[in-house]
């Protein structure tokens, strides 16, 4: 059974924690990183085939995720998947 909390109004709320990140889809816009109040997400820097430095997001600190799914909502590329906790 999943972990279920309550909204302020007393309705059941199941947190959906960040699970996977697809680096091949990421544009490196950084929106998800800025949005995460828990500072779960960070930046990965790499060099592309032409030697240009690029940045993409990464899951840095999964243990601090509160399961709000805000990162997934802002991401136009749908890079993240989420999972409840049992
Ligand atoms: S919002 Fe999506 S595309 Fe933008 S950095 Fe985050 S994961 Fe990458
Ligand atoms: S689900 Fe919420 S807390 Fe977890 S990484 Fe995304 S924005 Fe941060």
23 CA → ligand 1 middle, Å: 9
pTM listed for this prediction: 0.93
Q: Which CATH class is domain 5-83?
A: alpha beta
SS3 of the chain: the string is CCCCEECCCCCEECCCEEEEECCCCCCCCCHHHHHCCCCCEEEEEEECCCCCEEEEEEECCHHHCCCCCHHHHHCCCCCEEEECCC
Find the mean pLDDT for residues 47-58. 96
- The domain segmentation of the chain, as residue ranges, is 5-83
Ligand 2 mutation pick, 3, 16, 31, 67, max ligand atoms within 8 A of CB: 67
- Over residues 38-52, the mean pLDDT reads 96
Residues with CB under 6 A from ligand 1: 26-32, 56-57, 74-75, 77, 79
Q: pLDDT tens digit string along 4-33?
A: 999 999 999 999 999 999 999 999 999 999
What's the mean per-residue pLDDT of the chain? 97
Structure tokens at 16: 């959906």
């Amino acid at each position: 059974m999943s972990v279920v909390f309550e909204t302020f109004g007393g309705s059941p709320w199941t947190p959906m924690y960040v699970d996977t990140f697809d680096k091949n889809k990421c544009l490196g816009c950084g929106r998800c990183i800025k949005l995460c109040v828990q500072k779960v997400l960070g930046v990965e820097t790499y060099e592309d085939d032409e030697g240009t430095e690029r940045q993409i997001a990464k899951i840095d600190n999964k243990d601090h995720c509160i399961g709000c799914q805000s990162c997934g909502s802002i991401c136009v590329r749908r890079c993240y998947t989420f999972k409840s906790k049992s």
